[in-house]
Amino acid sequence: MKNRSLVSINDYSKEEYLKILDIAEEFEKNPKQNIFEKYVVATLFFEPSTRTRLSFESAVNQLGGKIIGFSDASSSSVKKGESLKDTIKTVANYSDLIVMRHPLEGSARFASEVSDVPIINAGDGANQHPTQCLLDLYSIRKTQGKIDDLHIAFVGDLKYGRTVHSNVIALTNFKCTFHFVSPTELKLPSAVKRHIKESNLEYYQYTDLSEVIPKVDILYMTRIQRERFSDPMEYERVKNAYILNGNMLANSKPNLKVLHPLPRVNEIDENVDEMKQAYYFQQAKNGVYVRQALMAAILGVK
């Protein structure tokens, strides 16, 4: 993985991301090491995403690296009309690795082609966000001790949720069974289902959340946004059907964990937060270790 960009989850093989998860485990035990001392990491956020940026910057800081960059495009030369190519080529002169988030789909792939240093895609529009996917795999393995042979439910907006799409595609490398819970309007696209079929894995679709809870090891919740509905009445009708609250977990398997990419709005009731099934805050914390592992592998220090 040394010097190789990570734009899309498919850029790395299963063995490569398992390797990153192994390195992440080392960092979880010992997150503060001085191994990035010689390196400058650029974080270019052409659109703001405080959570993701802080996670990357914390990862770099804890390893002793330096950070340059910007947190939204209005404060940068992009505002003055500089092309993406010129911005990337310039920053590549000043850094060893570029982490970028950009509102346009395909921007990170393009950047990886013009940059002399590797690019980590921290989100390109609705397309890819591979470090979210890696930290989700890490969280699944961490809580279940394995990724194979699990029953995994994805709940909420499965049509537009890019996190769900990349996770499903990554998980087809493992022997998982999928359970998809969504309103009819927001079902998983057939292009993603095709990946499951091609991997000879099984999936089931539901519109009722409570039905799926006793069956699964992982319950991956996502947000449902009002603007995704062509009919606002339909949104009002379904919005409360996909809210998880504590008493719904009464019949869950003992090993069930609830994941969520955060930020949440109201789809997980706060009464779940203190329950043993709640894992979403730890999941966010795992993001730091996984990002440390990825950057360390790309910089060639692990």
Partner 1 sequence: MESKKLRTELVVSALENGTVIDHIPSKNVFQVIKILNLDTFDNQILFGTNLDSKRYGKKGIIKVKNKFFEIEEINKIAIVAPSATLIVIKNFEIIEKKPVEVPGIVDKFIKCINPNCVTNHENIHTRFTVIDKDAMKLQCHYCEKTTSKENFIFI
The three-state DSSP-derived secondary structure of 33-96 is CCCCCCCEEEEEECCCCHHHHHHHHHHHHHCCCEEEEECCHHHCHHHHCCCHHHHHHHHHHHCC
3-state secondary structure of 119: strand
32 is catalytic: no
Write each residue from 186 to 205 as x if it is in contact with partner 1 (CB under 8 A), else as -, in one continuous string. Answer: -----x--------------
264 is catalytic: no
Q: State the nearest-atom distance from the C-beta of 128 to partner 1, in Å.
A: 7
Q: State the nearest-atom distance from the C-beta of 77 to partner 1, in Å.
A: 15
Restricted to residues 208-247, the positions that interact with partner 1 (CB under 8 A) are: none
Which of 53, 87, 101, 162 does the annotation list as catalytic? 101
- Site for partner 1 contains 125 (CB under 8 A): yes
Round to whole Å and give the CA distance between 178 and 216.
Answer: 9
Write each residue from 62 to 101 as x if it is in contact with partner 1 (CB under 8 A), else as -, in one continuous string. Answer: ---------------------xxx----------------
Out of 22, 37, 105, 149, name the contact with partner 1 by CB under 8 A: 105
Compare residues 105 and 270 and give the one whose CB is closer to partner 1. 105
- Site for partner 1 contains 107 (CB under 8 A): yes
163 is catalytic: no
Q: How many CA atoms lie within 13 A of 41 on its CB side?
A: 28
Q: Tokens at residue 186, please? A: 């927001």
Q: State the nearest-atom distance from the C-beta of 107 to partner 1, in Å.
A: 4
Round to whole Å and give the CA distance between 172 and 104.
Answer: 27
Cβ neighbours of residue 299 closer than 8 Å, sequence gap 6 or more: 2, 36, 39, 96, 97
85 is catalytic: no
Q: State the nearest-atom distance from the C-beta of 237 to partner 1, in Å.
A: 29
- Site for partner 1 contains 110 (CB under 8 A): yes
Restricted to residues 129-158, the positions that interact with partner 1 (CB under 8 A) are: none
CA distances from 2 to 35, 112, 249 (A): 15, 14, 43
Q: Tokens at residue 20, please? A: 């990153």
Whether the CB-CB separation of 198 and 171 falls below 8 Å is answered with no
Which of 236, 288, 286, 245 is CA-nearest to residue 264?
245
Compare residues 9 and 152 and give the one whose CB is closer to partner 1. 9
Which of 2, 51, 79, 197 does the annotation list as catalytic? 51
3-state secondary structure of 295: helix
Compare residues 191 and 250 and give the one whose CB is closer to partner 1. 191
Binding span for partner 1 by CB under 8 A among 20-28, 48-56, 105-113, 284-292: 105-113
Whether the CB-CB separation of 99 and 41 falls below 8 Å is answered with yes
Which of 52, 131, 143, 177 does the annotation list as catalytic? 52
H/E element, 218? strand 218-221
Out of 5, 62, 71, 127, name the contact with partner 1 by CB under 8 A: 127
- Site for partner 1 contains 109 (CB under 8 A): yes
- Contacting positions for partner 1 (CB under 8 A): 8, 83-85, 102-107, 109-110, 124-128, 191
Catalytic residues: 51-52, 80, 101, 129
